[in-house]
Amino acid sequence: MHGRGLFANRVIAAAELICEYKGARITWREVLRRCATDTSGSDHTFYFDVGDGTVIDGGEGGNNARWLNHACTPNCEAEVMDGRVFIRALRDIEPGQELTIDYALTVEGRYTVELRERFRCHCAAPDCRGTMLEKRRASRRKAVESDAVRSSAPEGQAEVAVVPCSAADERVVQRRSQNALPQCG
Per-residue pLDDT of the chain (185 residues; tens, 9 = 90+): 556 789 999 999 999 999 999 999 999 889 888 888 888 877 677 888 788 888 899 999 999 999 999 999 999 999 998 889 999 999 999 999 999 999 887 677 788 888 888 889 999 999 999 998 888 764 343 333 223 333 333 343 444 444 444 433 333 333 333 332 232 23
The overall pTM is greater than 0.85: no
Nearest one of 179, 171, 119 to 150, comparing CA atoms? 171
Q: Which amino acid is at 94?
A: E
Catalogue all structural domains in the chain, each as residue range(s) with its CATH number.
6-176 (2.170.270.10)
Q: Answer left, alpha or beta for residue 41, where phi above 0 means left and psi between -120 and 50 means alpha.
A: left
pLDDT at 1: 59
What count of other Cβ atoms lies within 10 Å of the Cβ of residue 174?
A: 21
